[in-house]
Amino acid sequence: MRSDYNDGTLTVFLEGRVDSNNAQDVEKEIQNILDESAAESLIINAKDLEYISSAGLRVFLHFRKTHPSFRITDVSSEVYEILDMTGFTQMLTVEKAYRVVSVEGCEEIGRGANGTIYRIDQDNVVKVYNNADALEEIQHEREVAKLALVLGIPTAISYDVVKVGDSYGSVFELLNAKSFSKILANEPDKLDWCAREYVDMLKTIHGTEVPEGKLPDMRDVAIDWVKFMKDYLPEETYTKLLSLVEDLPKDNHMIHGDYHTKNLELQNDEVLLIDMDTLAVGHPILEFASVYNAFRGFFELDHDAIEDFQGFSYDTAQKFLNKVMIEYLGTSDEAKINEVLDKARILGYTRLIRRSIRRNGLESEQGRAEIENWKKQLIELVDKTDTLTFIFNELDVEATVDNLDTVTSFINRFLEEEECPMKAQMQIELAVEEIFVNIAKYAYSPEVGRAKVRVELEQDPLKVIITFIDRGMPYDPLAKEDPDVTLSAEQRDIGGLGIFLTKQTMDDVEYEYKEGQNILTIKKNFE
Partner 1 sequence: MLNIKKEQDNDKLTFALEGRLDTVTSPELEGAIKDSLDGVKELVMDFENLEYISSAGLRVLLSAQKTMMQQGSMKVINVNDIVMEIFDVTGFGDILTIE
Residue 213 engages partner 1 in binding (rule: CB under 8 A) = no
Contact 327, 196 (CB under 8 A): yes
Work out how close the CB of 497 gets to partner 1 at its nearest, in angstroms, rounded to a whole number: 4
- Tell me whether residue 271 or residue 404 sits nearer to partner 1 (CB atom): 404
**Given 242, 404, 457, 465, the residue binding partner 1 (CB under 8 A):** 404
**Given 64, 429, 521, 526, the residue binding partner 1 (CB under 8 A):** 429
- Tell me whether residue 240 or residue 492 sits nearer to partner 1 (CB atom): 492
Residue 486 engages partner 1 in binding (rule: CB under 8 A) = yes
- Tell me whether residue 191 or residue 404 sits nearer to partner 1 (CB atom): 404
Residue 495 engages partner 1 in binding (rule: CB under 8 A) = yes
| 364 Cβ neighbours under 8 A, 6+ residues apart | none
Work out how close the CB of 209 gets to partner 1 at its nearest, in angstroms, rounded to a whole number: 9
- Tell me whether residue 224 or residue 482 sits nearer to partner 1 (CB atom): 482
DSSP string, 408-434: HHHHHHHHHHTT--HHHHHHHHHHHHH
**Given 170, 204, 505, 518, the residue binding partner 1 (CB under 8 A):** 505
Contact 306, 262 (CB under 8 A): no
Work out how close the CB of 252 gets to partner 1 at its nearest, in angstroms, rounded to a whole number: 13
Contact 279, 256 (CB under 8 A): yes
Beta bridge partners of 125: 119, 172
**Given 34, 55, 430, 519, the residue binding partner 1 (CB under 8 A):** 430
Residue 151 engages partner 1 in binding (rule: CB under 8 A) = no
Work out how close the CB of 495 gets to partner 1 at its nearest, in angstroms, rounded to a whole number: 6
Going by C-alpha positions, the residue among 170, 111, 179 that lies closest to residue 145 is 170
Contact 381, 341 (CB under 8 A): no
**How many other CB atoms sit within 10 Å of the CB of residue 90?**
9
**Given 106, 457, 501, 519, the residue binding partner 1 (CB under 8 A):** 501
| 214 Cβ neighbours under 8 A, 6+ residues apart | 147
Residue 271 engages partner 1 in binding (rule: CB under 8 A) = no
Contact 42, 70 (CB under 8 A): yes
**Given 485, 514, 516, 527, the residue binding partner 1 (CB under 8 A):** 485
**Number of shown-chain residues binding partner 1 (CB under 8 A):** 25
Work out how close the CB of 394 gets to partner 1 at its nearest, in angstroms, rounded to a whole number: 22
Q: Which of residues 95-124 bind partner 1 (CB under 8 A)?
A: none
| 207 Cβ neighbours under 8 A, 6+ residues apart | 253, 405, 406, 409, 410
**Given 490, 515, 516, 527, the residue binding partner 1 (CB under 8 A):** 490
CA dist 65 and 440 (Å) reads 63
DSSP-based three-state secondary structure for 444: coil
Contacts with partner 1, 362-401, as mask; x by CB under 8 A: ---------------------------------------x
Going by C-alpha positions, the residue among 52, 63, 43 that lies closest to residue 15 is 52
**How many other CB atoms sit within 10 Å of the CB of residue 254?**
27
Site stretch for partner 1 (CB under 8 A), options 139-147, 344-352, 445-453, 491-499? 491-499
Site stretch for partner 1 (CB under 8 A), options 48-56, 308-316, 343-351, 484-492? 484-492
Work out how close the CB of 395 gets to partner 1 at its nearest, in angstroms, rounded to a whole number: 17
Packing angle, helices 334-358 and 314-329, rounded to 10: 120
Amino acid 63 reads: F
CA dist 508 and 424 (Å) reads 13
How, if at all, do strands 71-75 and 93-96 pair? parallel
Residue 251 engages partner 1 in binding (rule: CB under 8 A) = no
Going by C-alpha positions, the residue among 362, 395, 389, 404 that lies closest to residue 466 is 395
CA dist 75 and 83 (Å) reads 9
Residue 405 engages partner 1 in binding (rule: CB under 8 A) = yes
- Tell me whether residue 391 or residue 501 sits nearer to partner 1 (CB atom): 501
Packing angle, helices 365-384 and 334-358, rounded to 10: 140
Site stretch for partner 1 (CB under 8 A), options 58-66, 255-263, 275-283, 488-496? 488-496
DSSP-based three-state secondary structure for 217: strand
Q: Which of residues 431-470 bind partner 1 (CB under 8 A)?
A: 433-434, 437
Residue 150 engages partner 1 in binding (rule: CB under 8 A) = no
- Contacts with partner 1 by CB under 8 A lie at 401, 404-405, 423, 426, 429-430, 433-434, 437, 485-490, 492, 494-495, 497-498, 500-501, 504-505
